[in-house]
Amino acid sequence: MIFVTVGTRRPFDRLLVAVDEIALDLSEPVFAQIGPSGYEPDNVRWVRRLTPNQYDRQVRDADLVVAHGAIGAVLSAQKHGTPVLLVPRRPEFGEHATDAQLAACEQMADRSGITVVTDLSDLPALMRDPQNAWMAHFQSAGHRDGFADRLREFMISV
Protein backbone atom coordinates (compact mmCIF):
# COMPACT_ATOMS: atom_id res chain seq x y z
CA MET A 1 0.00 0.00 0.00
CA ILE A 2 1.16 3.52 -0.76
CA PHE A 3 0.28 6.14 1.84
CA VAL A 4 0.03 9.77 0.74
CA THR A 5 -0.10 12.58 3.27
CA VAL A 6 -0.30 16.28 2.57
CA GLY A 7 -0.64 17.36 6.18
CA THR A 8 -3.67 18.81 7.89
CA ARG A 9 -3.08 22.56 7.74
CA ARG A 10 -2.74 23.52 4.09
CA PRO A 11 -4.15 22.15 0.86
CA PHE A 12 -1.80 20.50 -1.62
CA ASP A 13 -4.04 19.89 -4.61
CA ARG A 14 -1.16 19.74 -7.13
CA LEU A 15 0.22 16.61 -5.43
CA LEU A 16 -3.19 15.01 -4.96
CA VAL A 17 -4.14 15.49 -8.62
CA ALA A 18 -0.84 13.90 -9.71
CA VAL A 19 -1.21 10.93 -7.34
CA ASP A 20 -4.84 10.42 -8.35
CA GLU A 21 -3.81 10.14 -12.02
CA ILE A 22 -0.86 7.85 -11.25
CA ALA A 23 -3.05 5.58 -9.09
CA LEU A 24 -4.87 4.37 -12.21
CA ASP A 25 -1.68 2.62 -13.38
CA LEU A 26 -0.53 1.19 -10.05
CA SER A 27 -0.92 -2.39 -8.92
CA GLU A 28 -0.84 -1.28 -5.27
CA PRO A 29 -3.70 0.50 -3.55
CA VAL A 30 -3.19 4.12 -2.55
CA PHE A 31 -4.61 5.70 0.60
CA ALA A 32 -4.36 9.43 1.32
CA GLN A 33 -4.83 11.89 4.13
CA ILE A 34 -5.86 14.98 2.17
CA GLY A 35 -6.38 17.57 4.91
CA PRO A 36 -8.18 20.76 3.80
CA SER A 37 -7.45 20.21 0.10
CA GLY A 38 -10.17 21.22 -2.31
CA TYR A 39 -9.44 18.31 -4.61
CA GLU A 40 -11.05 15.00 -3.69
CA PRO A 41 -9.38 12.04 -5.44
CA ASP A 42 -11.45 9.62 -7.53
CA ASN A 43 -8.90 6.79 -7.81
CA VAL A 44 -7.50 6.90 -4.28
CA ARG A 45 -9.20 5.97 -1.03
CA TRP A 46 -8.91 9.03 1.21
CA VAL A 47 -9.83 10.76 4.46
CA ARG A 48 -9.39 14.36 5.48
CA ARG A 49 -7.67 13.66 8.77
CA LEU A 50 -6.30 10.70 10.71
CA THR A 51 -5.77 10.46 14.44
CA PRO A 52 -2.10 10.20 15.45
CA ASN A 53 -2.52 6.45 16.05
CA GLN A 54 -4.20 5.94 12.68
CA TYR A 55 -1.48 7.98 10.97
CA ASP A 56 1.26 5.95 12.65
CA ARG A 57 -0.43 2.70 11.58
CA GLN A 58 -0.70 3.87 7.96
CA VAL A 59 3.00 4.76 7.84
CA ARG A 60 3.96 1.47 9.51
CA ASP A 61 1.88 -0.62 7.10
CA ALA A 62 2.84 1.27 3.94
CA ASP A 63 5.39 0.09 1.41
CA LEU A 64 5.96 3.72 0.47
CA VAL A 65 5.00 7.12 1.88
CA VAL A 66 4.50 10.10 -0.41
CA ALA A 67 4.46 13.27 1.66
CA HIS A 68 4.67 17.02 1.56
CA GLY A 69 8.09 18.25 2.66
CA ALA A 70 7.50 18.15 6.41
CA ILE A 71 9.81 16.86 9.12
CA GLY A 72 7.01 14.96 10.87
CA ALA A 73 6.44 12.77 7.82
CA VAL A 74 10.16 12.00 7.63
CA LEU A 75 10.39 11.12 11.32
CA SER A 76 7.39 8.79 11.08
CA ALA A 77 8.71 7.06 7.97
CA GLN A 78 12.18 6.64 9.45
CA LYS A 79 10.71 5.28 12.69
CA HIS A 80 9.07 2.45 10.77
CA GLY A 81 11.72 1.99 8.09
CA THR A 82 9.33 3.07 5.36
CA PRO A 83 10.81 4.75 2.28
CA VAL A 84 9.49 8.24 1.65
CA LEU A 85 9.10 10.45 -1.39
CA LEU A 86 9.08 14.08 -0.29
CA VAL A 87 7.31 16.58 -2.51
CA PRO A 88 7.86 20.08 -1.12
CA ARG A 89 5.15 22.69 -1.40
CA ARG A 90 6.24 25.57 -3.62
CA PRO A 91 5.44 29.27 -3.31
CA GLU A 92 5.26 29.72 -7.08
CA PHE A 93 2.17 27.48 -7.07
CA GLY A 94 0.62 29.27 -4.08
CA GLU A 95 1.20 26.25 -1.83
CA HIS A 96 3.46 27.94 0.70
CA ALA A 97 4.69 31.44 1.52
CA THR A 98 8.40 30.53 1.21
CA ASP A 99 10.67 27.82 -0.13
CA ALA A 100 11.21 26.53 3.43
CA GLN A 101 9.97 23.03 2.58
CA LEU A 102 12.26 22.84 -0.42
CA ALA A 103 15.24 23.96 1.69
CA ALA A 104 14.41 21.39 4.39
CA CYS A 105 14.02 18.64 1.80
CA GLU A 106 17.34 19.51 0.17
CA GLN A 107 19.02 19.05 3.57
CA MET A 108 17.55 15.54 3.81
CA ALA A 109 18.00 14.50 0.18
CA ASP A 110 21.22 12.60 0.78
CA ARG A 111 19.69 10.47 3.55
CA SER A 112 19.00 6.85 2.84
CA GLY A 113 15.31 6.13 2.33
CA ILE A 114 14.44 9.69 1.33
CA THR A 115 13.90 10.82 -2.22
CA VAL A 116 13.03 14.45 -2.87
CA VAL A 117 10.74 15.02 -5.85
CA THR A 118 10.86 18.59 -7.16
CA ASP A 119 9.41 17.76 -10.57
CA LEU A 120 6.08 15.92 -10.47
CA SER A 121 6.85 14.31 -13.83
CA ASP A 122 9.33 12.11 -11.89
CA LEU A 123 6.65 10.88 -9.50
CA PRO A 124 5.00 8.17 -11.67
CA ALA A 125 8.21 6.20 -12.18
CA LEU A 126 9.10 6.39 -8.50
CA MET A 127 5.64 5.27 -7.38
CA ARG A 128 5.38 2.48 -9.97
CA ASP A 129 8.64 0.78 -9.01
CA PRO A 130 8.65 0.15 -5.27
CA GLN A 131 11.59 -2.24 -5.63
CA ASN A 132 13.97 0.27 -7.18
CA ALA A 133 17.52 0.66 -5.96
CA TRP A 134 17.08 3.48 -3.45
CA MET A 135 14.49 1.44 -1.54
CA ALA A 136 16.61 -1.69 -1.54
CA HIS A 137 19.56 0.36 -0.32
CA PHE A 138 17.45 1.95 2.39
CA GLN A 139 16.10 -1.35 3.63
CA SER A 140 19.55 -2.84 4.08
CA ALA A 141 20.62 -3.05 7.72
CA GLY A 142 22.43 -0.10 9.19
CA HIS A 143 21.20 2.70 6.97
CA ARG A 144 18.18 3.74 8.97
CA ASP A 145 19.57 3.17 12.47
CA GLY A 146 19.64 6.36 14.46
CA PHE A 147 18.59 8.77 11.71
CA ALA A 148 15.27 9.68 13.34
CA ASP A 149 17.07 10.27 16.65
CA ARG A 150 19.68 12.52 15.01
CA LEU A 151 17.00 14.47 13.14
CA ARG A 152 14.94 14.89 16.32
CA GLU A 153 18.02 16.13 18.21
CA PHE A 154 18.76 18.60 15.43
CA MET A 155 15.19 19.94 15.43
CA ILE A 156 15.27 20.42 19.20
CA SER A 157 18.57 22.28 19.03
CA VAL A 158 17.37 24.77 16.41
CA torsion sign for 79, 55, 87, 134 is: positive
At the topology level, CATH places domain 2-157 in: Rossmann fold (3.40.50)
Taking only the tens place, the pLDDT of each residue in 78-129 is 899 999 999 987 767 666 666 767 667 676 767 778 888 888 998 998 998 7
pTM: 0.78
pLDDT value, residue 147: 56
Encoded amino acid at 57, one letter: R
Task: Answer whether 138's CB lies under 8 Å from 130's CB.
Answer: no
